[in-house]
Amino acid sequence: METTRKSTTKKAASSGRKKIARAYRDVMLKTGKQPPSVYSFCLDLGIEEEAFYREFGSFTGVEREIWKEIMNATIRRVTGDKSFQGFSAREKMLALCYTLLEELTRERSFILVQLERTARPELVPPFLRDFRDSYLNFTSRILQEGQETGEIARRPYLERGYPRLFWLHLVSLLMYWKSDDSPAFTKTDAFVEKSVQLAFDLITKGVVDSAVDLARFMFQSRRHT
């Protein structure tokens, strides 16, 4: 295949993806449920079924795309910000959450419809998979940078569990925001503020490390005597 052709088809394809995603969103918002079939969806949209399957395998694939785009837009905005690089890991995490909330708020109606249909988002239903992966990728980068600057404590075994904890935090944030009825979601802001502060108080060098250090010392000194 020639390179020039490839790029044009790709471009056309990505606009096709967007079009399908937008149309799907509209249907979900208007009816509150998935279209009855890909066939009827394509008929309403005026495209061939084939064109749909070229982009997505199923409706879930479309949902996945919409969620992924929310996260990616967030990350693009955050990393594009001038002051972001100068932030501490804690502030980066806060900035990420607040920006994500702004992006989520744009799509709030769609997200509410989706979350209503999901009993336990923490188990990562298929549509949340890319959303989660992209989030965890980015947060692990923040954590790593934090460890390099010494802001976040190195805890060889414990830190393997961090990604899971951060994911659970994000889910709890989503659920809180879902049922938040305060104007401009200021309560969710407070929730982010307090929960991220707590999380970072836990993973920065502090009580836990001193306790482990003392325990290790006691254990070792007893062995020697």
State the residues that interact with another protein by CB under 8 A.
82-83, 87, 90-91, 94-95, 97-99, 101-102, 182, 184, 186-187, 189-190, 192-193, 196-197
Least distance in Å: CB of 98 to another protein? Answer: 4
Least distance in Å: CB of 189 to another protein? Answer: 4
Which residue, 99 or 114, is less far from another protein as judged by CB?
Answer: 99
Least distance in Å: CB of 193 to another protein? Answer: 6
Rounded Cα distance between 137 and 51, Å, is 31
Least distance in Å: CB of 107 to another protein? Answer: 17
Cα 200 off chain centre by = 18
Rounded Cα distance between 60 and 49, Å, is 16
Which residue, 80 or 156, is less far from another protein as judged by CB?
Answer: 80
Which residue, 122 or 145, is less far from another protein as judged by CB?
Answer: 145
Rounded Cα distance between 220 and 72, Å, is 48
Which residue, 23 or 196, is less far from another protein as judged by CB?
Answer: 196
Which residue, 98 or 124, is less far from another protein as judged by CB?
Answer: 98
Least distance in Å: CB of 55 to another protein? Answer: 34
Residues in the chain, overall count:
225
